Amino acid sequence: MQIKGTIITDKIYKIIASESDSVFKIFTDNGIYLDAPCGGKERCGKCKITVIKGDFSGLTEKEKSCIKSGLLSKDERLACSCYPKSDFTVKINTSNEKKQGLLVNSELTDGNKIGLAVDIGTTTVAAYFCDIDTQKIIYTASGSNSQKIYGADVISRIGFALNNKNGNEILFKTIINQINFFIDEFCRH
């Protein structure tokens, strides 16, 4: 059965999902970032979502434990543990994952030749926009590596790539989307 979902982050996503997929899988299938160092294996308890509306599968033992210890509120669920049973709306807090941009030099004109260097680290991605003629950095942007939704470390991401159809392509698209986000931010400045 197909289910309509609305996911609220710093943007609003309208998606079609299957009730056989966890909310975590729905997020990853749609390229939506969610902090999950364990890669959605119900170990870390960090993939919190706030349920706005909709019916979901019952609470798992992990979720009950998180509620009991105060890690989850009554309106929160773990995305890796819950499955939608009806159309739904959920929200994730992305405020701590915002990408930071810093304009270093505002002397840009339409004639500037801009180069881009990207440092893709395990935890952080940084982009440096350079004026080719002056060889100066004019803008920097950085943020948490969006691939961490598939695992907090490189070994977990390799496991994801090996154990999931199109895993390499998914990881590739995730990092490209993040770099494109940085480019869009630069162009807005």
Residue 98 has a pLDDT of 43
pTM of the model: 0.58
Rounded CA-CA distance 129/140 in Å is 6
Residue 119 has a pLDDT of 94
For residue 1, pLDDT beyond 70: yes
C-alpha to C-alpha distances, 133 to 106, 118, 137, nearest whole angstrom? 15, 19, 11
For residue 121, pLDDT beyond 80: yes
Rounded CA-CA distance 49/34 in Å is 9
The predicted-structure confidence for 134-160, as pLDDT tens digits, reads as follows 888 888 888 889 898 888 889 989 999
Structure tokens that stand for 126 in this block: 């940084």
The predicted-structure confidence for 27-49, as pLDDT tens digits, reads as follows 888 878 777 777 788 877 888 99
Residue 117 has a pLDDT of 94
179 vs 109, more confident: 179
Q: SS3 for 168?
A: helix
C-alpha to C-alpha distances, 27 to 49, 64, 183, nearest whole angstrom? 11, 22, 23
